């Protein structure tokens, strides 16, 4: 066990890079330690991407298998060029359109980062976050920062500093508390070494927006298969899971009512994941948690992980979840829900 420091920082502070909190966290990174920090998507757990020992600490803290590659966070194009042998014109178009922001690009690696980051692949996943605290930390440390989500492996990703503290207290050097994150689901990951480019993980930038920017975009088979070598985070192992057994129920409210009734004499406590529109539709459930408005899917994405963690606090045994349209950011929401449920769907 190590002492985990918590530095509270105002993301709107002037000269954020020079604040004592950012400097303290940056010094930890330079010494090879690992710290958590907010991005516009979720909190990341960062380490020096060039230092194998630092990257190994990330895997150990999370309890994460080391054959799953990590995303490298950068603050400018100079850092990207230092890490990658080529920025294809389509990749450059994506950079110009969506960076800084919730989009990760898989590019040919120059071999500058540790093999522990790339999982031995000839590519490296790179992202330029828009969150001011993340950008200030990268610049203050002078490092490319390898950072998966700052949670225990398999748990819902953290959108607040207290989520990180719950999972990783005593396992990491510190947490930069910059408040609640914005998007709520991780970045979209796009492989720019294929023709057409390929979505490896849906996220904060929708497929529709990518198509609008560059034309043809493919979906990787790894979005639904677990038996291949992962080229990006979130492709291989169970993720985002609450402690309760979770089921997706595409048939909607009537079917959920039937399922709750079937558990009446089981002794199990039942939770329902729903939206504002259906808040009062499940009075027979033990816990009904709302993750935004169905009419505003971005609010569902924003609250999803926090709600999944809240079910743990409610101590429910079974969760029945409504499902959502896969248009826009809904595709990322359904990807996370499917993984949280371990693929369990009730017909």
Q: What is the pLDDT of residues 238-285, one digit of tens each?
A: 578 999 999 999 999 999 999 999 999 999 999 999 999 999 999 999
Q: What is the predicted pLDDT for the residue at 226? A: 46
**Residue 230 clears pLDDT 80, i.e. is over it:** no
**Residue 194 clears pLDDT 90, i.e. is over it:** yes
Q: Which phi and psi (to 5°) does residue 3 adopt?
A: -75, 125
What homologous superfamily is domain 5-223 in, according to CATH? DHBP synthase (3.90.870.10)
Q: What is the predicted pLDDT for the residue at 67? A: 77
Mean pLDDT, the chain, as a whole number?
Answer: 94
Query: Residue 225 contacts by C-beta under 8 Å, 6 or more apart in sequence?
Result: none
Q: Which phi and psi (to 5°) does residue 81 adopt?
A: -65, -30
Task: Compare 117 and 230 and report the one with higher pLDDT.
Answer: 117
Is 189 in contact with 203 (CB distance < 8 Å)?
yes
Q: What is the predicted pLDDT for the residue at 227? A: 47
Look up residue 247 and give its two tokens: 């089921």
Domain ranges of the chain: 5-223, 245-340
CA dist., res. 345 & res. 336, Å (int): 13
Give the 3-state secondary structure of residue 275: coil
Q: What is the predicted pLDDT for the residue at 232? A: 58
Q: What is the predicted pLDDT for the residue at 64? A: 79
In the chain the first and final C-alpha atoms are separated, in Å, by 45
The CATH topology of domain 245-340 is Rossmann fold (3.40.50)
CA dist., res. 240 & res. 103, Å (int): 20
User: Token match 């993984």: residue?
Assistant: 339
Query: Residue 284 contacts by C-beta under 8 Å, 6 or more apart in sequence?
Result: 257, 260, 261
159-165 own/partner pairs: CB under 8 Å, 24+ apart: 159/42, 159/43, 159/184, 159/302, 159/305, 159/306, 160/43, 160/306, 161/6, 161/36, 161/38, 161/43, 163/43, 163/305, 163/306, 163/309, 164/36, 164/43, 164/45, 165/4, 165/6
Q: What is the predicted pLDDT for the residue at 222? A: 73
Percentage of residues in the chain having pLDDT higher than 70: 95
CA dist., res. 67 & res. 115, Å (int): 10
Query: Whole-model pTM?
Result: 0.94
**Average of pLDDT values for 279-295?**
97
CA dist., res. 291 & res. 120, Å (int): 38
Omega into 192 within 30° of 0, i.e. cis? no
When mean pLDDT is compared across 31-35, 46-50, 93-97, 153-157, the lowest value belongs to 153-157
**Average of pLDDT values for 139-144?**
98
Q: What confidence tens digit (pLDDT) does each residue in 306-339 have?
A: 999 999 999 999 999 999 999 999 999 999 999 9
């Amino acid at each position: 066990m190590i002492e985990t420091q918590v530095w509270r920082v105002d993301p709107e502070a002037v000269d954020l890079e020079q604040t004592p909190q950012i400097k303290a966290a940056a010094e930890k990174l330079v010494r090879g330690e690992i710290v958590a920090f907010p991005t516009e998507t979720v909190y990341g757990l960062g380490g020096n991407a060039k230092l194998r020992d630092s990257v190994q600490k990330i895997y150990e803290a999370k309890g994460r298998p080391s054959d799953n590659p990590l995303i490298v966070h950068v603050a400018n194009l100079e850092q990207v060029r230092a890490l990658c042998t080529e920025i294809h014109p389509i990749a450059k178009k994506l950079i110009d359109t969506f960076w800084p922001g919730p989009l990760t690009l898989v590019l040919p690696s120059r071999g500058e980062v540790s093999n522990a980051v790339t999982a031995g692949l000839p590519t490296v996943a790179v992202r330029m976050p828009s969150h001011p605290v993340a950008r200030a930390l990268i610049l203050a440390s002078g490092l490319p920062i390898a950072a998966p989500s700052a949670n225990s492996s398999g748990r819902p990703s953290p959108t607040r500093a207290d989520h990180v503290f719950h999972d990783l207290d005593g396992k990491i050097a510190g947490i930069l508390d910059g408040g609640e994150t914005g998007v709520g689901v991780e970045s979209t990951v796009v492989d720019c070494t294929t023709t057409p480019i390929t979505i490896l993980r849906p996220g904060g930038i929708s497929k529709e927006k990518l198509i609008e920017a560059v034309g043809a975009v493919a979906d990787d088979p790894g979005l639904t298969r677990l038996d291949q070598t992962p080229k990006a985070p979130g492709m291989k192992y169970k993720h985002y899971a609450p402690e309760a057994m979770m089921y997706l129920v595409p048939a909607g409210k009537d079917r959920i009512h039937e399922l709750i009734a079937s558990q009446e004499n089981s002794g199990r406590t039942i939770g329902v994941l729903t939206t504002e529109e259906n808040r009062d539709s499940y009075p027979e459930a033990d816990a009904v948690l709302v993750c935004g408005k169905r009419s505003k899917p971005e609010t569902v994405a924003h609250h999803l992980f926090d709600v999944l963690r809240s079910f743990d606090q409610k101590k429910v045994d079974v969760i029945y979840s409504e499902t959502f349209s896969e248009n826009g950011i809904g595709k990322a929401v359904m990807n996370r829900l499917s993984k949280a449920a371990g693929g369990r769907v009730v017909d």
